[in-house]
Amino acid sequence: MIITNLKGGTGNQMFQYALGRHLAFKNNDTLKLDVTNLSIASEVGNIYRPFALEAFNVKKEIATSEETQNIKYPYGILSKIWIWFSFKILKKFNVLFNPSILNLKGDIYLDGYWQSPKYFEKIREVLLEEFTLNSALSFDASNLEKTISETIAVSLHVRRGDYVKNPQVLKEFGICSIDYYKRAIKHIEDSVDSPTYFVFSDDLAWVKKNLPVGEKVVYIQGENITDTEELTLMSKCKHNIIANSTFSWWGAWLNQNSNKIVVAPTPWFETQPYDKDLILKSWIQKKK
C-alpha cells in the first residue's frame, strides 16, 4: 500500500498525489490519501486548506488512522523520533527530485512536497484524465470557458495573499514584480496576434490598480467560481503567464495546446530550494 500525506493548497496536493499515483501505477499497488493534516490545520493555527482533490476524477481512497500508523511508524517511537529529526533538524521537506523515490516498493508513506515533474512525467496521460473536474462547470465558469475557446486566450496569474502578508514567506519565496509581468506580456505580444488576457488573482483590486494588462482583458472573479474551476480555466487558455505558485504551474502543465507559450518567473523562490526542472525547458523564463 502507498499512502501520500496531503498538505497545503490545491497545487501542493496535486504534486503529492501525482507522485503517489505514479508509484501506485508503476508498482501495481493501491494508493490511499492521508488527509489528517488538512483536517487539523485550523486547530493548530495553520492556514486551513480544504481537500481540493475531491473536485477531480482522481483515486480518492482515504487511509484509515490504523493504516497510516502502521506504515508511517513501522518502528513505533523510533520512527516518530526519526521523522521529527528529519523535519525539525535536517529540514528535509522532500522538495527536490530524488530519483531513488521512484524505485521504492512495498508499503510506503510519502511525506513531502515532491515539486518536480520528473516524479510523474511518465504518467502524464493518466494525470491529464484524472485532473479533470468530476462535475459540470458552474454557470459563470462555463460562460468563461466559452469565451476562452473563442479567443487567443492567455491566462495571467498574480499570487499575493500570504506571499505579501507574511514577512517570512515573502523573504523565502519572494513575489513576482510588476516588471516581470510587463516583460511576460511583451513576450506574448511579440509572439501572438491579438491575445486576450484572463487574469486570475487572490487580489484583483491590487491588480486592476497596479498592473497594466491591455485592452483585451477579462478579470476572473465571482463567488460562484471555485479554485479548481479557476485552475481548469487556466489550463483551457492557449498560453499562460504564471506566478511562482504551484497553482498556476499546474494550470500551465495541464494545458494541452501543443503550441502553447508558458512564461515563468526566475528564480522560482528566493531562499528556499527548488527543483531545477520545475520550470520546463520549453517554458520561457523571465526575471522575477
Q: Mean of the pLDDT values across residues 78-100?
A: 66
Is it true that the peptide bond before 267 is cis, omega within 30 degrees of 0? yes
Q: Choose among 181, 136, 135: nearest CA to 155.
A: 181
Provide the pLDDT for residue 47: 66
Tell whether the model's pLDDT for residue 84 goes beyond 80. no
**Percent share of the chain, pLDDT over 70:** 91
Is the domain defined by 139-287 classed in CATH 3.40.50?
yes
Bridge partners, 156 (sequence order) = 199, 241
Torsion angle, alpha carbons of 278, 284, 286, 288, to 10? -30
Please give the model's pTM, rounded to 2 decimal places: 0.92
The pLDDT tens digits for 205-239 are 999 999 999 889 999 987 789 999 999 999 999 99
User: Taking the C-alpha atoms of 238, 249, 100 and 95 in order, what is their torsion angle to the nearest 10 degrees?
Assistant: 170
pLDDT at residue 93, as a whole number? 72
Give yes or no for residue 78 having a pLDDT over 60: no
Summarize pLDDT for 154-187 with one digit per residue, the tens.
999 999 887 877 888 888 899 999 999 999 999 9
> pLDDT at position 87, please?
56
Taking the domains of the chain in order of start, what are their residue ranges?
Answer: 2-130, 139-287
What pLDDT score was predicted for residue 261?
Answer: 98
Average pLDDT rounded to a whole number, residues 93-121: 94
The torsion of the CA quartet 280, 151, 200, 238, rounded to 10 degrees, works out to -10
